[in-house]
Chains A and B, each alone.
Chain A
């Protein structure tokens, strides 16, 4: 833990890990040494089911630019989703 940059939130949904699909209850977001990506530091996102143990985890490690792109695309997609759910699309 060389940066102390980490955060977590509760989420609802499903993730697919090494053993198949499972329910998610939390997401961890951090910026620290990656496990696999070949950077000094990476933006990490871990979708987990804490109750099911550490192996119930879907992980990604991104460079900062990729992570910002992802965050922006998620927000843009959510804007469209909100409009759809509000009944705007025909």
Chain B
């Protein structure tokens, strides 16, 4: 458990490299299907690569059990509030920086809605040193996509982004569409932010998801993970 938004104790997976450090830290934001086995694997994978890594359960207040059952409840409720996600992220960032083996450098990463949450938290939360947005849906959003819980498109916070961005996207993805990615890239340029985007022509949404045969694209995933490690090595490693 870690202190999340408002001091709530929320569940989180945590994994650390073997050794004394100092190690950089990573916060991983799970995707829409919930705080699932895939994100436990991701957490271990980042630790294997040398990062103190935490993945908070952003649906923790909505119940416990099978991740998809909890996610179905959250989906029906219109997702989780952006303000709460930022608070949960900040709690995780502070937790990582408090560890004796921490270097103090921290990055954020997420996929799907987690990509949106990573970008949002990087712009609005505790200052971090790197952010990775993997096919985050509704980072760029029209007025029809805004809700009481998600009242502002994260792209509109770009001026406040404190760190470099790595973006990985599939050209076959309807959301974010290539036009959405173009709009995000334009905003980053407008505000003179450091960014690195990679677009994969034969991939759609979720091409890292080896547990989803229709989404997984092995070549794009292998290349994408290499881009992740290189970006993190350069920014927080």
Q: Which residues of A contact B174 (CB under 8 A)?
A: 40-41
Interface of B is mostly: loop
Q: Which residues of A contact B204 (CB under 8 A)?
A: 40
In the assembled complex, the CB of B92 is this many whole angstroms from the nearest CB of chain A, namely 20
Q: Which of A42-61 contact B (CB under 8 A)?
A: 44, 46, 48, 50, 53-55, 57, 59
Is there a chain B Cβ closer than 8 Å to A73's Cβ? Answer: no
In the assembled complex, the CB of B69 is this many whole angstroms from the nearest CB of chain A, namely 4
Q: Which of A1-28 contact B (CB under 8 A)?
A: 1-4, 6, 8, 26, 28
**Is A40 within 8 A of B68, CB to CB?**
no
Is there a chain A Cβ closer than 8 Å to B210's Cβ? Answer: no
Q: Which residues of A contact B31 (CB under 8 A)?
A: 33
**Is B63 within 8 A of A53, CB to CB?**
yes
Report how many A-B pairs have Cβ atoms within 8 Å.
83
Chain B interface bracket (under 10, 10 to 19, 20 to 34, 35 or more):
35 or more
**Is B112 within 8 A of A30, CB to CB?**
no
Is there a chain B Cβ closer than 8 Å to A38's Cβ? Answer: yes
**Is A32 within 8 A of B66, CB to CB?**
no
**CB-defined A-B contacts under 8 Å, sample of 28:** A1-B113, A1-B137, A2-B32, A2-B137, A2-B175, A2-B205, A3-B137, A4-B78, A6-B78, A26-B76, A28-B72, A28-B73, A28-B75, A33-B33, A35-B68, A35-B71, A36-B68, A39-B214, A44-B72, A44-B75, A48-B73, A53-B65, A54-B63, A54-B64, A54-B65, A55-B65, A55-B66, A55-B69
Q: Which residues of B contact A (CB under 8 A)?
A: 31-33, 62-66, 68-76, 78-79, 112-113, 137-138, 145, 147, 173-175, 204-206, 212-215
Q: Which residues of A contact B (CB under 8 A)?
A: 1-4, 6, 8, 26, 28, 30, 32-33, 35-36, 38-41, 44, 46, 48, 50, 53-55, 57, 59
